[in-house]
Structures are given as C-alpha cells and as structure tokens.
Amino acid sequence: MPRLVFDIETSAVGLENFDSIQQEYLFREAERQPTSEDHSRKKAEIFQQFSLWPFTAQVVCIAMINADSGKGQVLYQADDFDEDSLETAGDAVEFAPQVDEVELLTAFWDVAKKYDSIVTFNGRGFDVPFLYLRSALLNVPITRKDWLGYCYQTEPHCDLAEQFSFYNVSGREGAARKFNLDFYCKAFGIPSPKEMGITGMDISALLADGRHRDIADYCLRDVVATVELYRIWRERLMGIK
C-alpha cells in the first residue's frame, strides 16, 4: 500500500487580522505580567507561538514524497507565482509554487485523495489537525478525513514521533522519551534537515524576506529525513523489509 510522507511549514498571520477583543484574549497572559519589561517579553513569546495555531497562522508550504516510489512534490506559496515555473529536484521531486494558501491546500487534498496511508513526524499532534482546521476555515474540501486515526495504531497514520517514543510510554524522563526529528536523525546517521542552518523557527522571517524557495527546500529536507527514519523504523523495530 503506497504511503504518503509529508510535512508542513506554517507562519503567523499579522495582528491586523484580529480585532481588539481577540488580541486581548490572545495576549491575556502578557497583560498579567508585573512590569512593562515582563509584559513585552511575554507578548513576544506568545506571538512566536502564533505559528503553531491554525487560527493564528497559515500553511505556507507542504512537501510530499511517496515512500515507495520516492517521487514527490513541494507546494509552496510564492509572491512571484508563475503557472509555468515548475521545477524539479532530480527526476523525483517537483516544486510547484502556489498563488495563495487556498490554492496550496486545494492542490494538497487533490494529491491526498490518492493515498489511504500517511507517515509523519508528530503529524497527529500538529500537521494533520492544522491542515484540517485551516482547510475548514478557508472552506477548502478535505478529501481524507480519517487521517488522525486511533492512538496505538499505524494505519492509516504512522506518526514516527509516537513510534520512537512507544506512545510516550515512559514520559520525559524515561528510556523512550520523545526527541525532535533533528536529534533522531543525528542518532541514526541520517542527514539532518537543519544542517543547512535553517529551522522551523526561521520560517516567518524567510517568508517576510521573500525567500519562498528556501522554505520549500527546508520542508523537503524534513520529508526526506522522515522517509529515511520511516525505513529504519520498519526494518529495525517492526522487522518489515
């Protein structure tokens, strides 16, 4: 059964998208701080978290690879969008700039309907619910509504963050504590997606600078690493060749 391995990149939307009541709600913890310095620091911390919430952020890139064929596609928002500007990475991956988030999500769900199974790293806790909620907000039809699946199952969704921590069986202090993708990659000798000096924390700044292709390249590196980690999980922990 072909599996789709994917990852998303998100970026906070501006405060102008929220009215005064919404902003008061979002920054309520900052208002409770005792000093103006503490208030500013807390507000900055909260705004940094905007990229993690589908009601305060947008999807700016989705990279996808078929775990069996190795072929894939990277969908990403680009200011200089051109319908004829498709590029490829070797013979396997196509870069497809999109005019906006609606078009990006629509293109993603068009690919998604061809797959029954997916592989992610922390996708059950982040990527899938983020995509569901953003699509609902923008009224983009969702073609696969079963991807959250059930805990303790790898069908239809194999979340490697859950598998390598054995569903968080030992908490943060035990032998199976959860690490981030970069740490697992380095432990297993997989090239880390962060080796080029870009992390998920840089996405908003890259977007502001118009570096859309850099975001796409980083997202693809995340997926390539996830594919390799998935193969290790299958062969060494599940005994599947």
CATH code, domain with 13 = 3.30.420.10
> What residues of the chain score a pLDDT lower than 50?
84-86
Task: Flag whether 159 is in a domain.
Answer: yes
Residue 200: predicted pLDDT: 84
Task: Flag whether 66 is in a domain.
Answer: yes
Task: Flag whether 211 is in a domain.
Answer: yes
Residue 195: predicted pLDDT: 85
Task: Flag whether 42 is in a domain.
Answer: no
Interatomic CA distance for residues 146 and 155, integer angstroms:
10
Interatomic CA distance for residues 141 and 138, integer angstroms:
9
Whole-structure pTM value = 0.93
Residue 201: predicted pLDDT: 86
| Exposure string for 113-123, b = 16+ CB within 10 A, e = fewer | eebebbbbbbb
Closest-CA residue to 109 (of 132, 129, 79, 76): 132
Q: Write down the mean pLDDT value for the chain.
A: 92
175 Cβ neighbours under 8 A, 6+ residues apart:
none
Helix (H, G, I), strand (E, B) or coil at 10: strand
Question: How many domains are there within the chain?
Answer: 1
151 lies in which domain range? 3-18+56-237
Task: Flag whether 201 is in a domain.
Answer: yes
Residue 173: predicted pLDDT: 84
Residue 84: predicted pLDDT: 46
